[in-house]
Amino acid sequence: MLNRGLQLASVPLAPYERKVLQLLLTEATEKQIAERLGLAVSTTHSYVTSVFRKFGVRGRAGLMSLWLNQHSSIDLPVQR
């Protein structure tokens, strides 16, 4: 699902960054992501920050917007 979106990063993502990215695009909190991946919350936060930096976004909303804009197959009607 995310393979094409992963190609948008400015530099390649590390394996844990890829896992964190997949969970960031869900409703999981950083604490939940840490628990799911067996990481400390501080380590998870570092991965989250790195993912945002590599994609050139400031938060989840920017990440989701970038991914949706690049890979949306939905043609939305233009309002006039």
Tens digits of per-residue pLDDT, 16-52?
Answer: 999 999 999 888 999 999 999 999 999 999 999 999 9
- Does the residue 77 lie in any domain? no
Phi, psi of 62 (to 5 degrees): -65, -40
* Domain coverage including residue 29: 3-71
CATH value at residue 21: 1.10.10.10
- Does the residue 62 lie in any domain? yes
Q: ∠ CA 50-56-59 to the nearest 5 degrees?
A: 70
Residue labelled with tokens 């690049």: 70
More confident residue, 71 or 26: 26
Q: ∠ CA 73-24-63 to the nearest 5 degrees?
A: 55
- pLDDT value, residue 67: 79
- State if pTM tops 0.95: no
- Does the residue 35 lie in any domain? yes
- Does the residue 78 lie in any domain? no
Of the chain, the end-to-end C-alpha distance in Å amounts to 33
